[in-house]
Amino acid sequence: MKTHIRLTKVTRLPDRPDGDLMPSDLSIERGAIIEGYTIMGFYTEPPTIGKRFCVDRYERNGVKIEGEFSTSPVWDVEVKGDKTAITTQNSIYLMEELE
pLDDT-derived band at 84 (thresholds 50, 70, 90) equals very high
pLDDT top residue among 89 and 12: 89
Q: What is the DSSP letter of 41?
A: E
Residue 71: give the domain boundaries.
3-97
Q: 28 CB contacts (<8 Å, ≥6 apart)?
A: 21, 22
Domain count, the chain: 1
The reported pLDDT for the residue numbered 26 is: 47
Residue 99: its pLDDT value, please?
85
pLDDT digits (tens, 9 = 90+) for 35-77: 889 999 999 899 999 999 999 999 999 999 999 999 989 999 9
Which position has the higher pLDDT, 8 or 27? 8
